[in-house]
């Protein structure tokens, strides 16, 4: 399998990368199927998939504009034929930074409001264990942090995993106004 992405303590795989990886493997019975039809009078058949070509960074080169991996590359500005791992990581970080910067100008979502209300019941500046706040997943947490409404404290045993939230004064004000 391709290496997973890391989101806090969770491991995630991009469907497009898993598909690209699995496209390199032959289908069950493909060789027998191909050999069985190659002896017929109508000649050779085309394989069910084309050979995947990787660029210098090991990323598959995809030219089909409708392919999800190609769309992902284009969205990031990544060219697998000329770029490698360093450029991919830099482009991903830039995309994440743009996403975070765009959040403060958007309206609060339903889950953000719900999490803020729960945190507001404890007060501003109070350390609240993550388990006490319902429906506050990693996306909601990231959005609230990007807005400056919460601060997080990592778990002592599991670095990189959030253990507690602290509502900021701006978060308390936003809770009162929503």
Q: Note the pTM of the prediction, 2 decimals.
A: 0.60
Inter-CA distances, 176 with 106, 113, 133, 168, 171, Å? 17, 10, 17, 13, 9
Q: What per-residue confidence (pLDDT) applies to 56?
A: 86
Q: 79-82 — which CB contacts under 8 Å span 24+ positions?
A: 79/55, 80/54, 80/55, 81/55, 81/56, 82/55, 82/56
pLDDT computed for residue 28 by the predictor: 65
DSSP 104: G
Listed as ranges, residues in the chain with pLDDT below 70 are: 26-51
- pLDDT of 8 reads 80
Pairing mode of beta strands 127-129, 150-154: unpaired
Name the helix (H) or strand (E) containing 144: helix 138-147
CATH number for 109-177 (one of 1.25.40.80, 1.10.150.530, 1.20.1070.10, 1.10.10.10): it is 1.10.10.10
Domain ranges of the chain: 5-103, 109-177
């Amino acid at each position: 399998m391709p290496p997973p992405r890391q989101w806090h303590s969770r491991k995630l795989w991009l469907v497009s990368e898993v598909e690209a990886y699995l496209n390199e493997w032959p289908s069950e019975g493909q060789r027998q199927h191909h050999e069985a039809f190659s002896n017929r009078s109508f000649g050779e058949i085309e394989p069910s998939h084309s050979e995947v070509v990787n660029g210098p960074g090991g990323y598959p080169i995809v030219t089909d504009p409708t392919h999800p991996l190609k769309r992902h590359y284009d969205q990031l500005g990544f060219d697998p034929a000329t770029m490698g791992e360093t450029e991919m990581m830099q482009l991903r970080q830039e995309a994440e930074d743009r996403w975070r910067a765009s959040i403060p100008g958007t309206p609060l979502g339903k889950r953000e409001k719900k999490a803020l209300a729960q945190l507001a019941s404890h007060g501003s500046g109070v350390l609240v264990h993550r388990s006490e706040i319902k429906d506050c997943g990693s996306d909601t947490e990231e959005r609230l942090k990007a807005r400056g409404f919460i601060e997080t404290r990592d778990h002592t045993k599991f670095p990189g995993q959030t253990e507690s939230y602290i509502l900021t004064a701006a978060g308390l004000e936003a809770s009162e106004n929503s």
